[in-house]
Amino acid sequence: MTSTAKFYASAFVLRMDHWVSGTSLGRRAAQAGLRRIGALPSDHTLVRLYFQSRRAPSFHFSESDIAGIIDSVPMPLKLETIGSAEAIVRGRFAFRELGQLVFESEVDWRATIDDNVSWRWDLNRHRYFIELATAHHYTGERRYLSRLSALWEHWIARNPSDGETNWDQPFEVAARLNNWLWAFFLLLQASRKEEVRWVEIVSSMTEHAAHLYRTLEYHWPNNHLLLEAKALMEFGMLFPEFDPDRRFLRRGRAILLREIECEVLPDGGHSELSSMYHRIVAGELSEWLLVARRNSISIPDALAERIARMASVTAALSRPDGTVALLGDSAADDNYIRFDPARRDARHLNYWLLPEPSVPASRAVTTTTELLTLLPDMGYAVIRDQITDAKVHITVDVGQFIRNPAPDHGHCDALSFELYAGDRPLLIDPGVFFPNRDAGPWRQYFRGTSAHNTVSIDGREQSELLAMSDVGDRAEVRLLGSSSAGRTATVRASVRPYWAATAADVLHTRAIRYTSPGSIDVEDDITGAGEHTLTWHYHFAADLDVSMDEERGCEARDSGGRIVLHIAPVSTNGNLSGRLVRGCNLPRLGWVSLNSTLVSPTTVAVYEVRRALPFRAEFKITCLLPRTSGSGDQPAR
């Protein structure tokens, strides 16, 4: 049985266990907690007063902190938050660029757009609860609190914990609880007059924790299990009255610490090797570490240091505009990305994270002016040109398919690279796409070798892609060397595809040399035995207009008609054919997805030859960078 098949079998067993005992555990714990604080089932005011006067445990902020926090949040971030909250007040819900649904009266918590389950998940994660609460703090307008309270009450009434819809995915339950914890304390520090049903809120939060206690996805030891354990531990830590025997805290802490040790690599990268999941986990762990320290929860120094390194990895992967390459299964953004430990001004919630006095706020982030940054455990080499104002950022994949036991977020992207220069992406990774129809072929394409800026041999994948996002035998990838001196950085690595028994059969070795400002040389050596078809793919950003000349050189122009990139083969020991492909379905090639739910055509330069090995090809890539003074463009030299 494959690992993915085991997941579905285990998930079914866990759900059955929950129906038997999870719901009753949650209700018993909620009732016991209310008795412990002396509240009757309808005594909402007493619950509010109890938590407002309670000194410990403490959240990230107290009432006395809020004025200073509000003053520190930059106005653009405030306005963005207020705009999001205003849409919710008006009943407008939009997620993942799929469009919006407008609920004139009651929200339908089972609604989707185009049957997209991700849209329903986002609707029920309740990230916008936080936006409503903070919008009140930023504006003083109480209508945001009224809307938050009404939505919260309505959701609890329509989604009992013994139901199936919106309780069937432990990961989604954890995401909702993580947001509810923040919404609870934000609302608590604002509520004086609103009729908030505090009894139902704390009771439902307890039922969420009990559900996670019974259904943690041990069979899915990636970001799922880590974030579920994080939500469980944080609830137990902040609501001990509703966790009297500390079962939520103990189990959550034990699993979370184990998963941090297993999933966070020594260099600070996340083991799924996905830039999006790294950003999610890095942000959530940085938040968790602060609140744990605030409440004197012991965390091993070695694990705290790994969490600190995650911020430095986020900084390395971030391009000058704050975006990142879509490495592995990644979208450009996700509503689980609530914090950014590398850039405080990237997220408004960063300003609500007040560090414990003994921990410097900037301790986690390591800045560097080095041209080359190696992430040896995560398997990425990052070239950041900070010598000039070229704003060049190159991410090179020199690592394994995945470093996590759950393989579903890995891609066949060994030796691929992504290029950003002059304030925009030029060569891209494809991202991830989860369609409602024809999912299998689309999923395999986005995971496949031809969807990345690397070499495909005989049309075969680097690693053995199986159904249900699984993987069999994997490619062997090695970092052979790297160097950086003055204005030049070089990275050299090799990949042996899974179907080659030894390197003597087939081995692809690639060297990428960057010279500031904006000149890249790519040298590919394919060695081994026999005759093979070798295919190079260069995927351009979707908005670029690309043309190929008679010499097979490619020019890419932006929307203003300015040439921004030139690619040409400059040396081969055989004639390469060249062609451009865009949005093709037979075979599938030339697609990108920035948000996991919509797919767009993009242009791919394809170079191909069939020859006996060994074979060498060299490509010259030139970024045409905008001048900082005067007019015209500055070609790389």
Residue numbers in the chain where pLDDT is lower than 50: 7-8, 16, 19-20, 357-367, 629-631, 636-637
Range of the domain at 202: 3-263
CB 275: neighbour CB atoms within 10 A?
A: 30
Confidence (pTM): 0.94
Closest by CA position to 110, among listed 177, 158, 66, 42: 158
> For residue 54, which phi and psi values (nearest 5 degrees)?
-70, 130
Q: Where among 200, 235, 263 does a domain terminate? A: 263
Q: Where among 203, 235, 263 does a domain terminate? A: 263
Structure tokens at 48: 């509010």
Q: Are residues 422 and 569 in the same domain?
A: yes
Query: What is the rounded distance in angstroms from the CA atom of residue 195 to the CA atom of residue 150?
Result: 9
The answer to the question of residue 344 being in a domain is no
Single-letter code of the amino acid located at 380: Y
The answer to the question of residue 356 being in a domain is no
Query: What is the rounded distance in angstroms from the CA atom of residue 513 to the CA atom of residue 417?
Result: 12
Structure tokens at 87: 């849409």
Query: What is the rounded distance in angstroms from the CA atom of residue 467 to the CA atom of residue 605?
Result: 28
End-to-end, the C-alpha distance of the chain in Å comes to 54
pLDDT of residue 363: 42
Query: What is the rounded distance in angstroms from the CA atom of residue 84 to the CA atom of residue 41?
Result: 34
CATH of the domain at 500: 2.70.98.70
Q: Are residues 511 and 378 in the same domain?
A: yes
pLDDT of residue 163: 80
Query: What is the rounded distance in angstroms from the CA atom of residue 73 to the CA atom of residue 597?
Result: 31
Q: Where among 232, 263, 294 does a domain terminate? A: 263
DSSP 318-357: B-TTS-B---SS--S--TT----SS-GGG-GGGGG-PPPT
Q: Are residues 590 and 450 in the same domain?
A: yes
The answer to the question of residue 451 being in a domain is yes
CATH of the domain at 50: 1.50.10.100
The answer to the question of residue 126 being in a domain is yes
Q: Are residues 379 and 499 in the same domain?
A: yes
Q: Are residues 255 and 395 in the same domain?
A: no
- What does each C-alpha distance from 338 to 79, 160, 183, 284, 334 come to in angstroms? 17, 27, 13, 8, 9
Q: Where does 443-530 show beta strands of DSSP type E?
A: 455-457, 476-485, 488-496, 506-515, 519-528
- Total domains, the chain: 2
pLDDT of residue 634: 55
Answer whether 221's CB lies under 8 Å from 201's CB. no
Q: How far is CA 125 from the centre of its chain?
A: 16
The answer to the question of residue 582 being in a domain is yes
Query: What is the rounded distance in angstroms from the CA atom of residue 509 to the CA atom of residue 492?
Result: 7
The answer to the question of residue 151 being in a domain is yes
The answer to the question of residue 349 being in a domain is no
Query: What is the rounded distance in angstroms from the CA atom of residue 296 to the CA atom of residue 352?
Result: 19
Query: What is the rounded distance in angstroms from the CA atom of residue 199 to the CA atom of residue 471?
Result: 47
Instruction: Note if the bond before 441 is cis, omega within 30 degrees.
Output: no
Report the DSSP pairing between strands 577-582 and 372-375: unpaired
The answer to the question of residue 341 being in a domain is no
